[in-house]
Chains A and B, each alone.
Chain A
């Protein structure tokens, strides 16, 4: 197996996640798109951890850190979305323009 095939898969998933972050309106789905981007980064980290002769497996360790940070990010993100929904009755990010008026 070549390392480029994993890198290409990671690039494609990252680009797809970016497309989702830009086009989605619902806040929960934007978070889901961010998760796709983080998964793409994890694919790259683990592939290069196996590819490079690193006795410390730093790529796999960093993938574990990314998973932990992503879990924290989703927890806070969902809490903020719940708070906004309670006050505005909507999870649509286009309607969250109260700081503009």
Chain B
């Protein structure tokens, strides 16, 4: 299984790239030119702080599995493996892989609160949030906790029974529809409601300032997502024998293909909605459709056949394209549509598994439309609801704590001036003056600043 080990090193590195630079570019291009650096710094900052927190207590709180480590199926003892104490270096690659998941989940939230949050508050929020929301959910779903099929007191086991060490109806979340996307989407929504809208939301134009960055980011996210989804394989035997090798050789191709065709279907569906509704398919629609499809196929890439993957992708692309407009109707400023894409896409993927899960896929479970009855659907819906509830409560607790202590918002004046300069003392672009190198810099500089103030 040395090939598997090498593959996992690559997969972990690919997922790291999804946060920095892929997500930073995707979000950065969508924000305004006066706040692109702050937007990108929220991803870079999340990476640095979560990486350290993860080796200190994150891995332990998610996956320590000694006697008495599990606390009510909700999280594991954060101190058992603190600082990777007693973790065999041969397992570090799995710590690395899971670390990158925690990193990107925290970074995803930043898109909801663009342009207006103090950088120091964000840097305090992130480690608290992963501790209260991400590590417990990772433990619940993948670490043998309440939402895991391996827990005899788990949700599915309570409802439909447990035999031979496995829930009779196995809840399916291959790579993080609940843990990553529903979790980040709910957190984004709660924070937006807590800290409020940007100045001028719904009145002033807040267009994406550079869609080429967004297109590059979306492409890199897709590329990195192969590490995310394909690398999430879990072996049935786990002894490195013939069966594991056979599983590796067949399952990775399935998850790769499902990831790709669902994403393609989602991009087409998003563009089709735009073509019908607005008359034109947009590049931002293509980039957004890619991410919506990737989000939705994340839990399902090992659960469905090719038709299921296409159906999930198409549904996610169309529904997310419609859902991103809801913020204007309800007046919440989810700035870069973390709710509309990650929460909605995560729910679409997680719930549709109940309909289109296929016995011929690696997960081996027939959903409602494949003759498997309603039980898988019930399990998927309830799993999503538990994830939503947990994330909402945990985010609200951390969000209120920050609000009462550090405070979330920069001042109105600073927000109008632009968060890049106010929080970081920099401007992303110096096109008018060419960095001060051109002779005409004096004239062009003063013209540009007057224009920006007007």
A and B from one complex: no
Residues of chain A touching chain B, judged by Cβ–Cβ distance below 8 Å, are none
Residues of chain B touching chain A, judged by Cβ–Cβ distance below 8 Å, are none
